[in-house]
Structures are given as C-alpha cells and as structure tokens.
Amino acid sequence: MSSPREPDEASSSKLKGKVVDHTEHPNICDGGGNVDEADKDEDKEDAELIDEENVVKPPNPATSSKAKKAFGMHRAQPTARRGNDPSNYEDRFPEDPIYAETAPNARVWRTYQAESAIHDANMVEESRDNVDVLLVFAGLFSAVVTTFLVQTSQSLQADYAQVSASLLFELLLVQRAIANGSPVETIPVSSLNPQIGFAFVPTATNVWVNGLWFTSLFLSLTTALVAVLVKQWLHHYIALPSGTPRERCFVRQYRYLGFQKWRVEVIVGVLPVLMHLALVLFFIGLSLFLHSLRAALSWVVWMGTVLLIVAYVTVTILPMYFPQCPYRTPLCDLAYPPYIYVTSLFQKHYHRLRQLLQRWRKKTWSQ
C-alpha cells in the first residue's frame, strides 16, 4: 500500500510527459540549458496538488452513509457553526472601548436588555393568558348567576299579588256570609291583611340561596375588575421609556423589584381561586334552590358538588406529596410554602414529641 504522500502512476506520468512550449516562454531557459526558477516553482506546485489529491481524508461523519443517525436524521457536528448564535452577545454587540465597559451604550447594558426582554416576555405572556381566560369566564359566569338572581330575589320581598288574592278571597267569604245571613265575625281574617300588623318574613331557604348567589356574583365581578387592573399593570411594566440602554435597564430593574416586593404574582394567582370559590358557592345555592322544587334533583346536585370539592382538594394536595404529579390547582403555589414550614417544624420537634409521648405512656401504665 502506497503512502498518502506518494503520487499515483497516472499523475507521475502526466507530470513527466509535460512539454514546455518555448515559444510561449522564450526566457524559460538560459544559454547553458538550465531551467528557470519559475519552471521549478511551477513543478513544485503541481507536485503539491498531486499530493493533496492523494491524501487519504477521514470520512465526514455527517455525510458518510454509515454515520450514526438520531431519530432518522444525521447528527450534526458539534463544532460546526450554523449561522450566528443568538446567545453569543460578543458577536451581536460590538466590543466596548477600553475603560468604557459601563458607558451608557456599553455591551453589558445591551446584553441585560436582551436577556430581560426574554424573561419579561415569558412572564407577561403567561400572566396575560391567565387573565384573559378569567375575564371571559367571569363574564359568562356573571351572566348566568344574574339570570338566576332575577327570579330568586323576588322571594325576599312581599308578594303583593298574593296579598291581593288573599284579600279578595276574604271579601268573597264576607259577601257569602251576608247573603246567607251568617255573622260576619265567623269569617277568619287573612294573615296577609296589612291592618293586623302584617310583616313579611322570607323563608330561611330563600335567604340562604340569595345570599350564596349574591356572594358568588360579587366574587365574579371582583375577579373581573382585578383582572383588568392586572392587565394595566403588566402593560405599564413592559412599556419602558426612551433613553440610553443603561437608563432603560435601571427603569426595568426598578419596576421588576417593585413587582417582587408588592407580590403581583400572588395577586394573579389568587384570581383563579376566587373564581373557583364563586363557582362552589353557586353550586351550593343551586342545591338549596332545587330542594324546595324537587328533592331528588337537589340530592343529585348535592352529590355532584361534594364530589367536585373532594376532587379539587385532592388535586391540590397530591402535588405536595408527589412532585411529579401533573394535576395542579391555583392553590398549590399558595399552599406549598405553609406546607413546607409546617413540615419542617414537625420534623424538628418530632423526636421531642415522641419522647414526651413515651414518658406519658410510662406514667399512665405505672399508675
């Protein structure tokens, strides 16, 4: 096997059979028949080209037919550069002059702007999506609750149509008594007569139903109002004023620290909890409302409401014990810090409580 630096026979014969045209190069040879230096350089270049052609190159793993594949596609070379890397800020932004690394237009401020823009876009987009869903749901839910309240709120005041019917019936009895010659005093007085101190008192069921539904409507409208305010806060947060990159970075960091200090993310997380609470109150009021109409329907709604509450609490507790569990509720993020605090206290005082319990048992058994 010939070495990679050795030219093959075809190339050697081609090089040996090369004829120099003296008409084209009249000064290529001197009078003594010596070859000119230009001819030597040309022969050397031809030899180098032949050597390069005969060099055994290693196969390219990306183009080889036996290259490893990942999911049916050739693996890319880790050292190959495919365009500009967006995370390489040395290529994106020019280098700062010496002693100007913290100037108003320095690279550090432009890099901070690019990184903070990605973070803020993700944070604001997530909050806006949650708020938009809550606004739509709160509007539909408020319309449904209002429809029910229009009918049930009338039960909290006196039904004057019923009062008129009762008084007309009493008048009819008086006329019959006069026609028959019976004493009028024997006619019972209607309890709805305003002259005998009539005072309307709604039933307890009507009070509870309207109270639950009015509370549910209040929570729904409150959620919608706070959601609109949150959208305004988010818009003000991302609307940075004009100026140098350093000034914009200072303003953004100032607002971000304000968001963290005043717990804006907690307010956004509480909004779904308020809507869920409003929904539960509506279901409880619906069960009471159906109880006076049809007991069977009332029990069906009661069972569905209880199952819904149990499932909600279970889904809230499961991620605390099983972090891999995908089921979550808005209460998970709010209940997790207290859960960690209580768990740490229990683990801290567990052995002490166990010793006290053992001592108490020994004293009890000895007595």
* Weakest-pLDDT range from 53-67, 165-179, 183-197, 267-281: 53-67
User: Span 25-40, mean pLDDT?
Assistant: 46
**Whole-angstrom Cα distance, residue 307 to residue 14?**
92
Classify residue 40: in a domain, yes or no.
yes
| HSE-CB of 129 using CA atoms within 13 angstroms | 5
Answer for the pair 334, 272: CB distance below 8 angstroms, yes or no: no
Classify residue 87: in a domain, yes or no.
no
**Whole-angstrom Cα distance, residue 202 to residue 158?**
8
Confidence check: pLDDT of 169 > 80:
no
Maximum distance among all Cα pairs of the chain, rounded to whole angstroms: 170
**Whole-angstrom Cα distance, residue 321 to residue 335?**
12
* CA nearest to 123, candidates 115, 112, 111: 115
**Whole-angstrom Cα distance, residue 292 to residue 146?**
20
In this prediction, residue 170 carries a pLDDT of 74
User: Span 137-160, mean pLDDT?
Assistant: 90
Q: Is 113 helix (H, G, I), strand (E, B) or coil?
A: helix
Domain that holds residue 45: 9-54
Q: Is 104 helix (H, G, I), strand (E, B) or coil?
A: coil
**Whole-angstrom Cα distance, residue 333 to residue 337?**
8
Q: Is 65 helix (H, G, I), strand (E, B) or coil?
A: coil
Confidence check: pLDDT of 59 > 70:
no
**pLDDT, tens digit (0-9, with 9 covering 90-100), for 337-363:** 888 888 888 777 777 777 787 777 777
In this prediction, residue 365 carries a pLDDT of 72
- Count CB-CB contacts under 10 A for residue 150: 9
3-state helix, strand, coil in the chain (%, to 5): 70, 0, 30
In this prediction, residue 202 carries a pLDDT of 82
Looking at the structure of the chain, the number of domains it has is 1
Stronger pLDDT, 367 or 231, i.e. the higher one: 231
User: Positive or negative, the Cα torsion across 142, 146, 148, 154?
Assistant: positive
Classify residue 50: in a domain, yes or no.
yes
Beta-bridge partner residues of 309: none
Classify residue 33: in a domain, yes or no.
yes
Classify residue 196: in a domain, yes or no.
no
Classify residue 307: in a domain, yes or no.
no
Classify residue 290: in a domain, yes or no.
no
Classify residue 332: in a domain, yes or no.
no
**Whole-angstrom Cα distance, residue 24 to residue 36?**
14
